[in-house]
């Protein structure tokens, strides 16, 4: 079972408000397990709590990920238009030197 599925199930039970932000369908979300990193796309339908979490660099998500798996996760936030343009996140970040 993938880490993100484990995290989604655990978060739904333990921190439902954080679950709503990331898995409630109000933001665009990508998780890359190999490196690990997340990319979140802002949308006009996200709420105030989501905006605060994303402005803070996804700090609650990162803390929960570290709690569950003992590893840090990097995050990147962008608008939904840019998010939808990317087909391969590893190619998007690594050739540009953003995450190494």
Q: What is the per-residue pLDDT across 1-56, written as a single tens digit (0 to 9) for each?
A: 799 999 999 999 999 999 999 999 999 999 998 888 999 999 999 999 999 999 99
Domain 3-89: which CATH number of 2.30.30, 3.30.70, 3.50.70, 3.40.50: 3.30.70
The answer to whether 22 and 61 have CB atoms below 8 angstroms apart is yes
Task: For residues 67-86, give the mean pLDDT.
Answer: 94
Answer yes or no: pTM beyond 0.75: yes
| pLDDT value of residue 95 | 64
Domain spans of the chain, in order of start: 3-89
The CA distance from 84 to 67, in Å, is 30
């Amino acid at each position: 079972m993938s880490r993100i599925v484990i995290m989604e199930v655990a978060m739904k039970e333990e921190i439902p408000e954080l679950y709503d932000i990331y898995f409630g369908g109000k933001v665009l979300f990508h998780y890359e397990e190999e490196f690990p990193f997340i990319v979140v796309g802002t949308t006009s339908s996200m709420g105030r709590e989501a905006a605060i979490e994303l402005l803070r660099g996804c700090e609650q998500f990162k803390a929960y990920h570290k709690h569950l798996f003992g590893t840090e996760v990097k995050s990147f936030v962008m608008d939904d238009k840019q998010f939808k343009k990317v087909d391969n996140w590893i190619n998007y970040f690594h050739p540009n030197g953003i995450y190494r």
